[in-house]
Amino acid sequence: MSSIFWFRRDLRLGDNPALNAAVRAGDGDVVPVWIVDTTFSSPAGPNRVKFLRSTLQSLDASLNKKLTIRCGDPAKELLDLAREVGATEVFATGDYAPKGRSRDEIVGASLARAGVTLHFIDSPYSVIPGTVRTQTGTPCRVFTAFRRGWELQPLETPLDAPTGVSWAQGTSVSLDELVNHSATRRPHYFGDLGLIEAKSIPEAGEKIAHQLLEDFLPSVDAYNEARNIPSIAGVSRLSPHLRFGTIHPRQILSAVDGMSTGAVQYRSEICWREFYADVLFHNPQAVSSNLISTMDQLRIDRNDKAVERFQMWAKGETGYPMVDAAMRQLLEDGWMHNRVRMLVASFLVKHLHLDWRWGAKWFMWHLIDGDIASNQNGWQWTAGTGTDAAPFYRVFNPSLQAERFDPQGLFIHKYVNELRDIPAPQCLQPGGGEGLLAAPGYFPPMVDASTERDEALARYAEAKELAKATK
């Protein structure tokens, strides 16, 4: 009897323990399925959907064109499919994010009532969220404690892709359904922004993910310094592949096993991803609530002026060259370098006094690697509402960040057309430097960074006082 394999965040054949289990249970006969579910597709903008679509096309090719596509409520679609192909067992990789977990509980219970068993095996992480604990058995609140425990966990050897499988297809809808059911939930503060697609989306699929890893390995020893320079190819660009599981962190960690500072740092970044999944597992409310409740008292601007400011930030028209270059990188490539993700997030919260959730939504809409755990916790970390020990006082200075990490203005020149003819160091400064004659069409600084920094710190002091008074 065939089994069903429900693909979700594991769009690969190699090192997929849940898929291997489905192959065993079906005695080599497997019906692979992807279900378009509007709960997950509607807040994703065109970029991620395009990347996902091409990932699914590549997966379909490696399944001899037998990938079944369904659209609708997964409980109903899986049951209909199980009846159609005569399967009684469905396999999937575990999902540990809040919406995924509650969907899986509902689907599992519903299938069980109809006599179909849904098995969850493995996770999108090298260590399953919820596994690492402090010495006293509590969840880890800080990264260093998590990393200590995470490093002690055994790293399993990646599995080969199953061979000799007979893939079978059930009734299928067109992959266009994915596009039809995406990008429908745009918040009011986006205004009419958000429908422009990135100029180009990187190639997708399992083979490409492994190629990226191969290409990155020779430079891993230099990663420690190179990872901070957004104008060079110093990072692996594997995040969209980790997001959709065309590569598993086990496969990356077994390849990056050296002891150079670069290799150690790279593993530590993979660990950040696992830490954030763990934080969200224990704190599902972190998707939309501050992890530090004191920060609920922070005064945030939400009026029409705030919306206007948000949109200037979103379009990359702040007049701060490094911020604008980064925001335009997001619009052009559907991806942003980590160094500048921190800068623009800090700018939105601490220089513009806006809600981190607004910025997080903009990121989730545009990023091809948009991942709820890394994104929400990355925003909370930068906004000072999350897991960092000394959170709010770190206010990134946009001019100093440009001087430090883009001294020749290469990143700025690449993305801010108006500044292409302005040499460094002038092009690193607000408005494109003094004497704006040289930068026609570029934007004057929308705020004074130093005044707004003071304002942010004053609001923080006020929030702390208010929190004390309401205790």
Ligand X SMILES: Cc1cc2nc3c(=O)[nH]c(=O)nc-3n(C[C@H](O)[C@H](O)[C@H](O)COP(=O)(O)OP(=O)(O)OC[C@H]3O[C@@H](n4cnc5c(N)ncnc54)[C@H](O)[C@@H]3O)c2cc1C
To the nearest whole angstrom, how small is the minimum distance from the Cβ of residue 277 to ligand X?
A: 9
> Is the separation of the CB atoms in 128 and 112 below 8 Å?
no
**230 neighbors 324 (Cβ within 8 angstroms):** no
Q: Between 13 and 235, whose beta carbon lies closer to ligand X?
A: 235
Which CB sits closer to ligand X, 381 or 442? Answer: 381
Going through 14-71 in order, the beta strands assigned E by DSSP cover 29-36, 68-71
CB of 406 to ligand X, least distance (A): 16
- Minimum gap (Å) between residue 380 Cβ and ligand X: 9
Query: Residue 66 or residue 341: which is nearer to ligand X going by CB?
Result: 341
Shortest distance (Å) from residue 97 CB to ligand X:
12
Q: What is the DSSP letter of 369?
A: T
341, 356 Cβ separation under 8 angstroms:
no
Selection from 252, 293, 285, 282 nearest residue 269 by Cα = 252
Smallest separation, CB 140 to ligand X (Å): 15
Structure tokens of 241?
Answer: 């592949």
- Please say which residue, 77 or 406, places its beta carbon nearer to ligand X: 406
Smallest separation (angstroms) from ligand X to the CB of 349: 10
What are the E-state strand segments in 227-363? none
List of residues 6+ apart from 296 with CB closer than 8 A: 289, 290, 467
Residues in Cβ contact with 51 at an 8 Å cutoff, skipping those fewer than 6 apart: 201, 202, 204, 240, 244, 334, 368
Residue 366 or 413: which CB sits closer to ligand X? Answer: 366
Number of C-beta neighbours around residue 292 at 10 A: 18
The residue ranges that bind ligand X (CB under 6 A) are 227, 235-239, 242-243, 269-270, 272-273, 276, 338, 341-342, 345, 363, 367, 369-371, 374-375, 378-379, 382
Residue 167 and residue 64 in contact, taking contact as beta carbons nearer than 8 Å: yes
CB of 263 closer than 8 Å to CB of 257: yes
Q: Which residue has the tokens 């769009």?
A: 11
Which residue lies nearest ligand X, judged by its C-beta? Answer: 378
CA-atom Rg of the chain in angstroms:
23
Cis amide linkage into residue 425, ω under 30° from 0: yes
Distance CA 337, CA 322 (A): 12
User: Phi and psi (nearest 5°) for 417?
Assistant: -50, -45
C-beta of 347 vs 443, nearer to ligand X? 347
**Rounded Cα–Cα distance for residues 270 and 198 (Å):** 26
Q: Which is nearer to ligand X, 177 or 371 (CB)?
A: 371
Q: Considering the complex, state which of residue 239 and residue 385 has its C-beta at the smaller distance from ligand X.
A: 239
Is the separation of the CB atoms in 366 and 326 below 8 Å?
no
Considering beta carbons, is residue 379 or 392 the nearer one to ligand X? Answer: 379
| CA 424/CA 410 separation, integer angstroms | 9
Shortest distance, CB of residue 459 to ligand X, whole angstroms? 20
SS3 169: coil
Q: Is 323 exposed, middle or buried (0-12, 13-18, 19+ CB in 10 A)?
A: buried
For residues 283 and 382, which CB has a smaller minimum distance to ligand X in the complex? Answer: 382
Residue with tokens 């490539």: 333
Minimum CB distance to ligand X, residue 239 (Å): 3
Q: Shortest distance, CB of residue 225 to ligand X, whole angstroms? A: 12
| Residue 28 vs 202, nearer CB to ligand X | 202
* Residue 382 beta carbon to ligand X: minimum distance, rounded to whole angstroms: 5
Q: How far is the CB of 369 from ligand X (least distance, A)?
A: 4
Task: Provide the minimum distance between the beta carbon of 206 and ligand X in the complex, in angstroms, as a whole number.
Answer: 16
Q: Which is nearer to ligand X, 270 or 449 (CB)?
A: 270
* Residues 6+ away with beta carbon under 8 Å from 7: 32, 33, 34, 59, 67, 92
